[in-house]
Amino acid sequence: MIPSSFPDKSEIARLTARMLLEIKAVHFNAEDPFTLSSGLPSPTYIDCRKLISFPRIRSALMDFMVVTVMRDAGFEAFDNIAGGETAGIPFAALVAERMALPMTYVRKKPKGYGRNARIEGTMGEGERVLLVEDLTTDGGSKLSFVDAIRETGASCGHTAVIFYYDIFPETIKTLGDHGVTLHHLCTWWDVLAEARASAAFDEATLGEVEAFLNDPRKWQAERAAK
C-alpha cells in the first residue's frame, strides 16, 4: 500500500540513522580500519543488507523511500522498479509492491548462457524505470545498471538508495552527467549526529570518524602510507 504520511527530510534522515544504529548496521573502528573494495582503509562500514531481517524497520524505511521518491520525482513518474544485483533486489521488490508497479532486476553482467540477459523480468521500450539500490558511495557502480536499463529502450533518470555516503564531492556530478538524479534517506553525517546524540560510540572514535568524513582521501592516504 502506498504510504499516506510524509515526514520531512530531516526527520526521515534522523530516524533512518537511528534504525541503522539500532540494528548495528553501522560499524566504526578507527584502531583497526575496514578495507573497502578499493583496497583503501576506512573507519566506517555500513551493512544495509541486515535490514531485510528486521521487518518493522524494513517496512518503515521502504515507506520512507516511496514517499521520498514520489515527493521529489513525482507521483506518476515511473512505470517499472528495477533492483541492482544483489543488494538492491529485495528493496526494489518492496518498493514495487508499495507503488503497485512491475519489478525487475539488473544483473551486474550477462549470465553467459541462455538468453545472456542482464534484465530479469519484463521491461518495455519507453518505460520510465526507477533503479533501487541499498547504498551509493561515489555513484560509479550505478552507471552500468542504468546503461543496461537504457539498452532495452526504457529510460532511467532516477536512482533511490537507503544510504548515501555524501563524502565524495564527485558523486552527484558523476550521476548528473549521466542524466541520473539521486534520492536517498540518510548519509554518514546523519549517522554521526545520531551516534553522538545516543552515545552509541565513544567520543574518540566519533572524532576519528568525523576527521575521515571531512577529508576521506587525506585520511586514507595517511593510513595507507603506514
**pLDDT tens, 31-51?**
889 987 667 789 999 999 999
All structural domains of the chain with their residue ranges = 9-224
pLDDT of residue 46: 96
What does the pLDDT read at residue 129? 98
Rounded alpha-carbon distances, angstroms, from residue 2 to 24, 33, 89, 175, 191 = 28, 40, 19, 27, 27
Assigned fold of 9-224: Rossmann fold (3.40.50)
Query: Distance between CA atoms of 218 and 61, rounded to whole angstroms?
Result: 33
> Which residues are registered as beta bridge partners of 181?
158
What is the structure's pLDDT at 3? 66
pTM, to two decimals: 0.93
- Please write the tens of the pLDDT for every residue from 48-65: 999 999 999 999 999 999
Please list the residues that pair with 160 across neighbouring strands. Answer: 132, 183
CA distances from 46 to 20, 62, 76 (A): 8, 18, 32
Q: Are 28 and 7 in contact (CB under 8 A)?
A: no
Residue 144: strand, helix, or coil:
helix
pLDDT in tens, 121-146: 999 999 999 999 999 988 888 999 99
Task: Name residue 164's amino acid.
Answer: Y
Q: What is the pLDDT of residue 36?
A: 76
| The pLDDT value given to residue 172 | 93
With H, G, I as helix, E, B as strand and everything else as coil, classify residue 72.
helix
Handedness of CA 74, 76, 79, 80 (dihedral sign): positive
Rounded Cα distance, 86 and 132, in Å: 11
- What is residue 226's predicted lDDT score, i.e. its pLDDT? 61
User: Tens-digit pLDDT profile for the chain (226 aa)?
Assistant: 676 667 899 999 999 999 999 999 999 998 889 987 667 789 999 999 999 999 999 999 999 999 999 999 999 999 999 999 999 999 999 999 999 999 999 999 877 665 668 999 999 999 999 999 999 988 888 999 999 999 999 999 999 999 999 998 899 999 999 999 999 999 999 999 999 999 999 999 999 999 999 999 899 888 776 6
Q: How far apart are CA 145 and CA 156, in angstroms?
A: 9
**Which pairs from 176-182 meet CB under 8 Å and 24+ separation?**
178/143, 178/146, 180/131, 180/139, 180/142, 180/143, 180/146, 180/156, 181/72, 181/73, 181/157, 182/136, 182/139, 182/158
Amino acid 116: pLDDT: 65
Q: How far apart are CA 212 and CA 197, in angstroms?
A: 19
